[in-house]
């Protein structure tokens, strides 16, 4: 299969591209810079130059290939506080891809998120499928959930659409996301912090296990399918803080709610979300068997703490 991948040189894309190539697929990767293009070509992929805002480029590439995996997201924009801008850009990109693939029965697999899906409960693949509220178009995690539901509805337009809901911690060597940010904050404050009693849970998945799941969705997922990229149902953030503290030789303490924004900065809106998630249906249906190290194992191995922040 000739596959168009957005975000192909990003954190998850740079694992998904070799996963696809290693299983016999051809890859056409979207690249917005010379550096990204060179990395993709070195990996054995073809390159389409453009950005997430180049909707005609996205549509043309989708039409010219046998399927699409959409991984790109403006994380830098979102993490700067502009969740609206990131959400709008993502939705417009998915709309362009969906229009291009309508009536073809080609696969469109997109990345979405598990964080905040069922606060305080254990999210299953059947959860979170309420009618789309367009007022949530750009409201943080809700924006990605709404775009995911839009993607699933493309099944009615002849697209073999599926959504991989990812854990907030897609971890491994080189990760610059949530856990790396927690490590950086611990270094900056001289203390590894957590909210409340430390029992807020986040699901977790290793980057290579996530890449394998995207490939499985591309190859197997029926139209309108939701998959969960959660190798671990929920890792307590108190234990994450303790692991960071051990690695950095720093004290570990609870951060009072009144100090949360000062301590966690942009992460303050996420570290209080208890978001456990099951992947039982995904494993049973697709034979996904995540086998890479868990999040606490990666922390204990120094994946986030060896070397400079």
pLDDT tens, 237-276?
999 999 999 999 999 999 999 999 999 998 998 999 999 9
Residue, of 299 and 308, whose pLDDT is higher: 299
Predicted confidence (pLDDT) per residue in 18-28, tens digit:
999 999 999 99
Residue 305's pLDDT band (cuts 50, 70, 90): very high
Q: What pLDDT score does 80 carry?
A: 76
Dihedral in degrees, nearest 10, Cα atoms 228, 230, 235, 240:
-120
Predicted confidence (pLDDT) per residue in 273-299, tens digit:
999 999 999 999 999 999 999 999 999
Region of poorest pLDDT, from 10-19, 21-30, 113-122, 212-221:
113-122
Structure tokens at 42: 């070195």
Q: Which CATH architecture has domain 173-202+233-276+291-300?
A: Alpha-Beta Complex (3.90)
Average pLDDT, the chain: 93
Residue 132's pLDDT band (cuts 50, 70, 90): low
Please return the burial class of 126, using the count of CB atoms within 10 Å of its CB with bins 0-12, 13-18 and 19+: exposed
Residue, of 208 and 136, whose pLDDT is higher: 208
**Confidence check: pLDDT of 104 > 90:** yes
* Homologous superfamily in CATH for domain 2-168+204-231: NAD(P)-binding Rossmann-like Domain (3.40.50.720)
Q: What is the pTM of this model?
A: 0.94
**Confidence check: pLDDT of 128 > 80:** yes
Mean pLDDT value of segment 150-174? 97
Where are the domains positioned within the chain? 2-168+204-231, 173-202+233-276+291-300
């Amino acid at each position: 299969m000739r596959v168009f991948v957005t975000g192909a040189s990003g954190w998850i894309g740079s694992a998904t591209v070799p996963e696809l190539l290693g299983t016999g697929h051809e890859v056409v990767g979207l690249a917005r810079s010379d550096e990204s293009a060179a990395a993709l070509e070195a990996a054995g992929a073809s390159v389409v130059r453009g950005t997430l805002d180049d909707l005609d480029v996205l549509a043309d590439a989708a039409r010219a290939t046998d399927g699409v995996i959409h991984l790109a997201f403006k994380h830098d924009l979102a993490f700067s506080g502009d969740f609206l801008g990131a959400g709008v850009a993502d939705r417009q990109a998915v709309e362009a891809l969906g229009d291009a693939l309508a009536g073809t029965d080609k696969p469109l697999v997109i990345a979405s998120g598990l964080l905040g899906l069922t606060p305080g409960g254990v999210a299953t693949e059947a959860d979170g499928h309420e009618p789309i509220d367009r007022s949530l178009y750009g409201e943080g995690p809700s924006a990605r959930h709404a775009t995911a539901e839009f993607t699933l509805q493309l099944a009615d337009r002849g697209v073999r659409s599926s959504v991989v809901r990812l854990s907030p911690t897609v971890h491994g060597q080189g990760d610059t996301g949530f856990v790396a940010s927690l490590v950086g904050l611990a270094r900056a404050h001289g203390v590894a912090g957590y909210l409340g009693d430390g029992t807020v849970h986040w699901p977790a998945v290793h980057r290579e296990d996530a890449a394998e799941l995207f490939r499985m969705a591309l190859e197997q997922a029926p139209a309108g399918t939701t998959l969960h990229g959660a190798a671990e149902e929920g890792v307590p953030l108190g234990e994450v803080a303790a692991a960071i503290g051990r690695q950095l030789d720093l004290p570990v303490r609870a951060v009072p709610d009144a100090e949360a924004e000062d301590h966690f900065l942009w992460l303050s809106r996420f570290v209080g979300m208890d978001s456990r998630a099951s992947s039982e249906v995904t494993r049973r249906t697709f034979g996904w068997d995540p086998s890479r190290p868990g999040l606490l194992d990666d922390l204990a191995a120094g994946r986030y703490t060896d070397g400079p922040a």
